Structure 1
Amino acid sequence: MAVTIDDRATARRGRWAVAAMFCTNGFIVGSWAPQIPLLMTRLDIREATMGLLILGFGLGALIAMPSCGLLIPRFGSRKVLTAFALTCTLGLLLVVATSSVWLAVPALVIFGALVGGMDVAMNTNAVAVERKLGKAIMSASHGFWSLGGFAGGGLGGLTIQRFGALPHAAFVAGLTLIVVIVAIRFLLSEDQPAAETRTKTRFPRQPAVYIVGLIALFGMIPEGAVLDWAAIYLREERGADIATAGFAFAAFCATMATMRFLGDIVRNRFGAVQTLRVSSLIAAVGIFVAGLSPTPWLAIAAFAFAGFGLANIIPIAFSAAGNQPGISSAAGMSVVTTLGYSGILVAPSFIGFIAQSTGFAPIYLGLSALLVFVFFAARFAAAADGARSGH
């Protein structure tokens, strides 16, 4: 079926609209990070209790993600994304407005569910845009998420310091609501799946989609281990001061964001499977060297190198999920996002528990083995190139 000029113009507008959604989601999540210490003080709780509350956020997301796999085939990713995005803008305000632990628990579960549901819907919509454009845009979309997270975290601390926690949450709600209202007008509406495809949404039988889910899981566990524990690893086991330890997170995020904006160009040139294989090896080497590093600065350089590799594992896995033959994009996306995000939402807490006995160095060495699995499983991500052929 020929693609008209009007179709391409619509797809291009949809491409920037879904990019705005990724940026908004990242901005909301990034804005949550500087609110955490204030929430602990306001509720008079310790780290262990806060850890359980954060786990509630993750569980809310993991509950909502597979649910979206049922909603999107029925209503389309545009409508589901619109609903989740509009309500997600109020999620942080809901949490910050709580005055007790018992109110914070359901507020964080709801917040996590809104963020997670929006995540599945926007990734599914990005797959629809890829099909319409006939080229990859997933890596850049995740790059916009990283930009939003960086802006949310950076502006959040300054805004809270000057105006307080509740005004900051209200500002986030107002700003993101405006962006979402503007963007939803231009979101792409994908073709409705056939009726027989909808019936396969709940439990896909194709084993390939679950292997792609493991690729996402094994890509996100090392990412979570770097984001949550790298600074502590450098400080406690490699003798870095606080300022130096903070560079691990910054360097990792910088290389990851840079590579995500370049990733679609690389993937369109070399294909998803080859890009995934090279990316997984780069990530494995970086994480392995970080675990062996005797000095903080060598570890920081290794984490930055790993960021180049980890950047495109998840975008490729998500494109492969949305283009699995025989099942709807939503069904594939819900399976892979649920498995993948459990690696960054749940796994870091287990890593911290294990590290109390072993230290972090052996953990990073072990995590590099997960990325070797990604290398050998890369052929199962070949469906990601369906975006380039327009089907």
Structure 2
Amino acid sequence: MQNLQTAHNRVRTIFFLHGAAFSSWVPHIPLVQERLDLAHDELGGILLAAAIGVLCAMPIVGRLADRFGSERVVRYSGLFYFVAVGIPAFMTDYLNISIAMFALGFSGAFLDVAMNANGLQVERVKGRSIMSGLHGFWSLGGFVGAGITAVWFALPVGNEFHLPVILGLFFIAHIIAQANLLSDQDATQHLASRHNSSGNSAKAPDGRNLFLALLPFGICAFIGQFGEGVLTDWATVFMTTVHDSGPTLAAVGFAVYSFAMAATRLSGDALVIRYGHVPVLLTSSILASSGTFILTVSPNIIIAWLGCGIAGIGLAVILPLLLSAAAHSTGKSGGAVVSVIAATGYSAIMAGPPVIGAIGEAVGLVSAFALTAGFLAMIIPVYLLTMRRRLQIAANG
């Protein structure tokens, strides 16, 4: 088997590049809205096209990752993703940008599920929590991508050159990084050898039983990812519209959000080990809801940045915590766990923005963000009703 630490570092890099590419596109959203003169519901419509792309990819990618190996799906899906991210910014009409957004969502979901599946394989072989750290590298990439974009927008250089240059560099980096990922075959052989030596041969659920076992995790993931999708796609629009901040200050706010998320995720594995799954999950829900509410009622751009930071801390570890706990409690990993949770929750990162776009057009963005803040607090009653026992099992397992 290849060097495990090298494989860990390579999948970290893939997470970083995915986040950096996506956050490089996000600050272009209000520019696209202004250039095409899109209303909030029309902007929500093109974001819905991306959500449809995500939903179309979900039933496919998990099976492909389990059949051909998550490392192979990471390798080839990345080649499409880093091209697809840059296309929407150059579309000149509603139909073409909707098609481009579909391609962005589809290719992004393929790479995202595959790299999470590969990360879960590395976590199981290493025998310790690493998923929060991997998502930390995604957010670190988001911070770097957003920071570079903010600097670029402030320079006397055409914004139209930003994505081709940056994504070209990320494309090359992906080609280098995808080599020496941990193969699913090596991971399976290592785990089989470990189980044989320990006498552990517990049978994991499959089929319908697996879906039912993972469904509560997916519901909580849906809530968290809904909020993350809204903050990711609409925070810059909110600050530009409500506070008349301009694209540069709005990009700074998104960079604050991304930095807070990255810092929390990078320390998230240690937090889970020290305090346990349940306190971290419930605290995350409270902070995510509070931060979004602060952003909603912020009287100026500085308070809006504060809200972005608190929301980033709260949203940081919800998804990686649930993925890791689900894999641990069911004995399954790879595409099986990621795709099932994604089917109920992960696609919300794309489904949330168009919903908020429609609500924002009807009653205003401030009310739409207030509803998002309330929705994020729903993780607590959902946990009490459906998640308590399973998360305790995962924590004690």
TM-score w.r.t. the length of structure 2 is 0.78
Letter in 1 for 2:65: I
Distance 1:176 1:51, change over 3 A: same
Residue in structure 2 matched with residue 17 of structure 1 by the alignment: 10
> Of 265, 271, 275, which aligns to 1:270?
275
> Of 156, 161, 176, which aligns to 1:182?
176
Letter in 2 for 1:46: D
Give 1:281 shift. 2.7
Residue in structure 2 matched with residue 329 of structure 1 by the alignment: 334
Once residues 188 and 241 of structure 2 are traced to their aligned partners in structure 1, the CA distance between those partners, rounded to angstroms, is 53
Residue in structure 2 matched with residue 146 of structure 1 by the alignment: 139
- CA contact 2:74–2:114 (8 Å) conserved in 1: yes
Distance 1:140 1:253, change over 3 A: same
- 290-299 or 216-225: bigger deviation: 290-299
Distance 1:266 1:77, change over 3 A: same
Once residues 308 and 58 of structure 2 are traced to their aligned partners in structure 1, the CA distance between those partners, rounded to angstroms, is 29
Residue in structure 2 matched with residue 4 of structure 1 by the alignment: none
Once residues 30 and 211 of structure 2 are traced to their aligned partners in structure 1, the CA distance between those partners, rounded to angstroms, is 44
Once residues 78 and 120 of structure 1 are traced to their aligned partners in structure 2, the CA distance between those partners, rounded to angstroms, is 11
Residue in structure 1 matched with residue 36 of structure 2 by the alignment: 45
> Of 229, 245, 258, which aligns to 1:253?
258
Give 1:142 shift. 1.4
- 204-213 or 160-169: bigger deviation: 160-169
Residue in structure 1 matched with residue 123 of structure 2 by the alignment: 130
Residue in structure 1 matched with residue 20 of structure 2 by the alignment: 27
Letter in 1 for 2:133: A
C-alpha RMSD of the superposition:
3.7
Distance 1:224 1:244, change over 3 A: same
- String of CA shifts for 1:341-365, please: whole Å, max 9, x gaps: 4332122222233244544555455
- CA contact 1:220–1:341 (8 Å) conserved in 2: yes
Residue in structure 2 matched with residue 69 of structure 1 by the alignment: 62
- 97-106 or 56-65: bigger deviation: 97-106
**1:13 aligns to what SS in structure 2?**
helix
Give 1:170 shift. 5.7
> Of 328, 332, 347, which aligns to 1:342?
347
Residue in structure 2 matched with residue 172 of structure 1 by the alignment: 167
- CA contact 1:129–1:188 (8 Å) conserved in 2: yes
Residue in structure 1 matched with residue 291 of structure 2 by the alignment: 286
- String of CA shifts for 1:80-121, please: whole Å, max 9, x gaps: 111212332332455567676555443432232111110000
Give 1:328 shift. 5.0
**1:47 aligns to what SS in structure 2?**
coil
- CA contact 1:76–1:192 (8 Å) conserved in 2: no
- CA contact 2:84–2:107 (8 Å) conserved in 1: yes
Residue in structure 1 matched with residue 72 of structure 2 by the alignment: 79
Give 1:313 shift. 0.8
Residue in structure 1 matched with residue 199 of structure 2 by the alignment: none
- String of CA shifts for 1:209-252, please: whole Å, max 9, x gaps: 11111111111222333344446656766x67558766653433
- CA contact 2:133–2:265 (8 Å) conserved in 1: yes
- CA contact 1:323–1:329 (8 Å) conserved in 2: no
- What are the within-5 Å matches in structure 2 for residues 348-367 of structure 1? 348-367=353-372
Once residues 286 and 103 of structure 1 are traced to their aligned partners in structure 2, the CA distance between those partners, rounded to angstroms, is 35
Q: Which runs of 5+ in 1 are unaligned?
A: 1-6
- CA contact 2:57–2:106 (8 Å) conserved in 1: yes
Once residues 160 and 249 of structure 2 are traced to their aligned partners in structure 1, the CA distance between those partners, rounded to angstroms, is 28
TM-score w.r.t. the length of structure 1 is 0.79
Tell whether 2:113 aligns with 1:114.
no
- String of CA shifts for 1:169-205, please: whole Å, max 9, x gaps: 26523x22332222222211234599xx99946x555
Letter in 2 for 1:172: L
